[in-house]
Structure 1
Amino acid sequence: MSQALQDLLDLLDLEQIEENIFRGQSRSAVVPRVFGGQVAAQALVAAGRTVPEDRPPHSLHAYFLRIGDPGAPIVYTVDRLRDGRSFTTRRVVAVQHGQPIFGMSVSFQTYEEGMDHQTPMPPAPDPVTLPTSEERLSGYGHLDARVVEKFLEARAAVDLRYVDEPPYGRFGEPRAPHSQVWFRTNGKLADDPLQHIALATYVSDMTLLDSVLLAHGRGGWAVGDVVGASLDHAMWFHRPFRADEWLLYDQESPSAYGGRGLGQARIYTQDGRLAITVIQEGVVRIPRG
């Protein structure tokens, strides 16, 4: 296991300070605020700590309410809304400086047999044939060295490989609003399903709005032609998967309007099983002046 991955796992290992109250530490991301994927993953872990281990999450719905302060801890309060025979529901509120910065509802389900079908996995190249983040970023002379350093630091725990050029790699010309990324953790994980789901949640906030930028030929915050932030985030976990094995993140944007952009995606295991569906809307503004 890489040290970066161990540091991330430590970040997700929350301190329990009361029966339904947890505290998580924080760190800055590629921008001077708490990374949204971190808050979502920590909130999911907090909810999962109040549910039996044999009942994994099957969906989450979240809202980003305020910008998080990376210099302060985050307190997560869990409401036990329902404990049924098959389903369990939790609500989590993340608080900093006395104000809620994030809210999430999570539903858990005991495994059961049922109908089974899925959308087929789209074509994608073998991930090992694609450049690593470090290899790809080393070729972008137009990016500030500090931006490259921040990118690599923020993604050191994850091996994330774009199938095509990311928005900040080739911008100025609109492209199809579709992006593919392969990812896996930089090291093996334990067999805890909640840990794998939390890590996939963490990564899911990294690239989902790329397809919005591609449609308009924008490079994003890395080149300063867009100001953005996540507004809400929803995930459905369909089938078991491992975050330490390759996952294909197939993303697209059906709409952008009114200063907001919508991204939707499917995450597949390398052998073609549909593992997760993700939808997110974010603020996507063109800077004035």
Structure 2
Amino acid sequence: MTKPTVTQNLMRMLDLSPVEAAPASFGSDEVSTGVTLTREQPRTFGGQVLAQSIIAADRTVEGKDIHSIHAYFLRPGDIERELFFATQRLNDSRSFSTRRVQVFQDEAPMFSAIMSFQSDSRGPEHTAVTMPEVPDPESLPMVSDYLGQLPHPIAQAVSWERPIDMRHVDAPLYTQADASSTQPRACVWFKTFDRLVRADGSEASEAEHRAAIAYASDYLPLEPALRRHGKFWLEPGLKSASLDHAMWFHRSARADEWLLYVLDSPSAQGGRMLAQGSIFNRSGELVATVAQEMMFRLPEYR
């Protein structure tokens, strides 16, 4: 049997299964579960929970696409334990639908999100942010070019097991700080490694593309703060965790085509940092906006 590709694993993760007899404590009769991707840490990746929650909610909505999600990470997830996604229908109108998704492990809530879905609508348009001029992604190194030859399990997992191809415009911060700049900003191209198709060969849905973009959006929000403070991902004593995640989808986009993620950090205080991100397609159109607050602790401040 051929080993599934990392993109196939991503699609398998998004293929949730219904749960017939869920505990009453979940507060919903619409409960689903899904697989967890192998990763380099024992904690469940926040982007996975975001993406699977979007799919869980989308399956209860007809004729509308997600346009926003506001989520809180309540406690760390364990990759060895099953996730359950309980969806509540809060509102349905002609143009909008609202859903709440609570995620449980061992009947304990670990994630909570409210999402809004909208039918196709017309209205005035403007965009106040512009995509910066950066090198094309094809001219930039892959993550495996930096880490693929290092004989360390985390380096190998980041290089070969993640389903997202990321190309840093500036020097990456995996193993050392970037001495050339302390600006709290990061620019990274990303897409899935292969075309998004389901196991039966059919094209991925709009919801699956948006879920995959949400998945990728959770990889990088800490990077502007690391750059500003002269730190890197493997900084001894660094502790970080996603606290919340907000995302707005402005227009349709494919997760398997290059997108530019432009991030900055307007504030870090009290052991927390705030990141803001804009995601553009190659035509320069604003596809999505992201905001996330993270725990950001360094040993010299303890």
**Same fold by TM-score, threshold 0.5 exceeded?**
yes
**Is the alpha carbon distance of 1:247 and 1:41 closer, same or farther for their aligned partners in structure 2, counting shifts above 3 Å?**
same
Count of equivalent residues: 283
Residue identity (%): 41
Aligned pair 1:160/2:160, yes or no?
no
Name 1:33's counterpart in structure 2: 43
SS in 2 for 1:8: helix
Helix, strand or coil: the match of 1:69? Answer: coil
**Mapped contact 2:259–2:282 kept (Cα < 8 A):** yes
Structure 2 distance, partners of 1:231, 1:154, is 25
Instruction: Establish whether residue 14 from structure 1 lines up as the match of residue 5 from structure 2.
Output: no
| 2:227 aligned with 1:214 | yes
Spell out the pairing of 1:52-67 with structure 2 (5 A cutoff): 52=62, 54-67=63-76
User: Following superposition, which runs of at least 4 residues in structure 1 exceed 6 angstroms of deviation?
Assistant: none
CA contact (8 A) 1:55 1:110 kept: yes
Q: Is the 8 A contact 1:75 1:96 kept in 2?
A: yes
Selected match of 1:79 from 76, 88, 99: 88
In structure 2, give the amino acid aligned to 1:194.
Answer: A
Aligned-residue Cα RMSD (Å) equals 1.8
* Structure 2, unaligned runs of 5 or more: 21-28, 197-202
Q: Classify the secondary structure of the residue corresponding to 1:207.
A: coil
Provide structure 1 residue ranges, at least 5 long, that are not aligned to the other structure: none
For 1:77 and 1:138, how far apart are their aligned partners in 2? 38
Corresponding residue number in structure 2 for 1:197: 210
TM-score with structure 1 length normalisation? 0.93
CA shift for structure 1 position 154 = 4.0
Q: Which of the residues 112, 135, 158 maps onto 1:125?
A: 135
Q: C-alpha deviations, 1:47-66, integer Å up to 9, x for none?
A: 011001x3000000000001
Aligned pairs for 1:98-137 within 5 A? 98-118=107-127, 119-137=129-147
Q: CA-to-partner distance for each residue in 1:188-240, whole Å, 9 max, x for gaps?
A: 122410010000010000011100111101113x2334110000000000011
8 A Cα contact 2:171 2:178, kept in partner: no
Task: For 2:211 and 2:120, locate their aligned partners in 1 and report how far apart those are by CA, in whole Å.
Answer: 18
2:281 corresponds to which residue?
Answer: 269
- Residue 188 of structure 2 aligns with which residue? 181
**TM-score, normalising length from structure 2?**
0.89
Contact 2:69 2:246 (C-alpha < 8 Å) held by counterparts:
yes
